[in-house]
Amino acid sequence: MTASASSVTTPSALSRFYHPPFVGAFGFIAVLGIVPLMHSLLSLVMHAFSKDYETLVSILIGAVAIGMVIYGSLRNSETLGTWLGFVAAHLVWTGWIELSFRFNPQSMNMGPLIIDGERILSASLLFVQATVGLLLATLPFFIFNRDTRCNAFLWIQRAVRFDAGKPAPAADRNFARITFLEVLYVIWFCYAVSLFLVDKRFLGAHHPITYVAGFGLIMWTFYLLIRLSQFTRIMAAVRYAVPTAGIFWTSIEIAHEWGLYDEFWSKPLEYGLEMSIVLGAFVLAVVLAVIMPRRRTAVATATPQN
């Protein structure tokens, strides 16, 4: 073994975290942590800017996100592309969807949906809910895509005996674009599920089916976390954590409708300490996740890896 290889494999204070289950844990914390941070960003923008400037701010946030995707696509790096695509998708959802969907309700003086004196959904969320038809119309493109790595989509392909062909090799995959679209669709789909579950016109937060769905989503999350704990590659773990965190967050949203907790991430100015802890955990998980693939790759040059 060469001296350079020996220096790479020398144990360090962080080396114990470069193996399962920590690989999956850091990926999950990073993916989950950005969700409350984006809610806080939305609240801060709404607090800091008047309604006259919200649209401009939303356009700028989305434009920055698209720039990140373009940059990540041009670099064609799995690590950089995955992270930029992941963050950009959340910024686009916050800037071009959540903030932009406030524009028409404000112009029309639309109020929230109220049933039996209970506030169900805000006007902007009603606009989000109305996009479910577009979601379902475009979803088959991703389900029957040969390059999909989603286990649910692959199961559907097998169930209907659809042969999508051989996926493109990893070197030819645009990780920024793929991650961006997958994260965006996971957010969109999970949003749609939660909105229809808590809407009394369909089920309602206290409907028996909603209770079953809420607890079922938690059990599904635990199953996915068990699988995630076996990952050895951090970038693969991050992408697998996207639907895992999305499913878990849907159950969190439903639990809020049950009145089990207060959404402190929607009130960052009131819960500065709590959001600082969330931000710190997110940054720490991302930093460790960024370091991890380099260490794993370096080790792989000295010793065989499965």
Counting the structural domains of the chain, the total is 1
> Of the given ranges (235-244, 267-276, 284-293), which has the lowest mean pLDDT?
284-293
Question: What pLDDT does 19 receive?
Answer: 81
9 found inside a domain? no
Top pLDDT among 294 and 33 is at: 33
Query: Is 167 a domain residue?
Result: no
What does DSSP assign to residue 94?
I
At residue 103, the pLDDT reads 80
Long-range CB pairs of 249-254 (<8 Å, 24+ gap) are 249/32, 249/35, 249/190, 250/190, 250/193, 250/194, 250/217, 251/214, 251/215, 251/217, 251/218, 251/221, 253/194, 253/198, 254/194, 254/197, 254/198, 254/205, 254/210, 254/213, 254/214, 254/217
Given this model, what pLDDT does residue 3 score? 43
Residue 160, number of CB atoms within 10 A of its CB = 9
Q: Is 168 a domain residue?
A: no
168 pLDDT higher than 80: no
Is residue 5 included in any domain, yes or no? no
pTM: 0.84
Domain limits for position 90: 16-161+177-293
- How far apart CA 74 and CA 141 sit, in angstroms, is 24
Q: How many other C-beta atoms are found inside a 10 Å radius of the C-beta of residue 292?
A: 23
* 166 assigned to some structural domain: no
Name the DSSP class of 148: -
Please tell me which residue, 303 or 126, carries the higher pLDDT value. 126
pLDDT digits 0-9 by tens, 182-210: 899 999 999 999 999 999 999 999 999 99
pLDDT reported for residue 293: 53
Least confident of 19-23, 29-33, 212-216: 19-23
In-domain check, residue 258: yes
Please report the pLDDT score of residue 299 as a whole number.
Answer: 37
Is residue 283 in a domain?
Answer: yes
Examine residue 28 and state whether it is found in any structural domain, yes or no. Answer: yes
